[in-house]
Amino acid sequence: MIVTTMDGIAGRITQETMGVVRGTQLWTRRVIKSSFGGIRNFEVTGLKDLDAGLNEAKEQAQKAMAEQAAKMGADSIVGVRIDVIEMSNGVFCVNCTGTAVKTIALPATIPSIDVTPPMEMDFDLAFLAARPAFEGSSLRH
């Protein structure tokens, strides 16, 4: 599965748009509760642990988004956006959103047209070789 923040994928063309996919993951610092049911304190260990925890939450949210796209039959996700929101003190929500698409690979080379005499023309047909039409596309590229 190709996942990108860009609107397209280099060397590929979008054949079909499947729809919006999402993944959400909550993350919090370790909470220590008292025996009376209230929160006694948060265990704060430093910025490195906060960074690692949020990165793990981001990976889990992206995984959930990719699983949803695979169920739809997509092979790529484009336009991915990742938002991290602090819902309350020390509780974070990571949202990944993107568009699931089916893509096809563009040919590695552009076919050439053999224009040899005795064919007489007033213009050069070489421009046609640089603009082939691809399957599933209504436009000439």
Q: Are the CB atoms for 42 and 104 separated by under 8 Å?
A: no
Biggest CA–CA distance in the chain, Å, is 97
| Average pLDDT for 37-46 | 55
- Provide the pLDDT confidence category of residue 40 given band limits of 50, 70 and 90: low
The pLDDT of residue 117 is 60
The pLDDT of residue 50 is 77
The half-sphere exposure of 98 on its side-chain side, counting CA atoms within 13 A, is: 31
More confident residue, 105 or 97: 97
- Provide the pLDDT confidence category of residue 141 given band limits of 50, 70 and 90: very low
The pLDDT of residue 54 is 86
| Average pLDDT for 57-63 | 93
The pLDDT of residue 87 is 85
Residues 9, 141: Cα–Cα separation, whole Å = 15
| Average pLDDT for 58-68 | 94
Domains along the chain with CATH numbers? 2-106 (3.30.110.70)
128, containing H or E segment: helix 126-129
- Strands 30-33 and 91-105 turn out to be unpaired
132, containing H or E segment: none
Among 53-57, 78-82, 93-97, where is mean pLDDT lowest? 53-57
More confident residue, 131 or 48: 48
CA distances to 62, 64, 105, 106, 131 from 109, in Å:
34, 36, 11, 9, 12
Residue type, 88: S
> Which pair of structure tokens corresponds to residue 84?
């991290």
pTM here is 0.63
Looking at every residue in the chain, the average pLDDT score rounds to: 78
Calculated CA dihedral for residues 129, 76, 99, 60, nearest 10 degrees: -160
- Strands 30-33 and 12-28 turn out to be unpaired
The pLDDT of residue 3 is 93
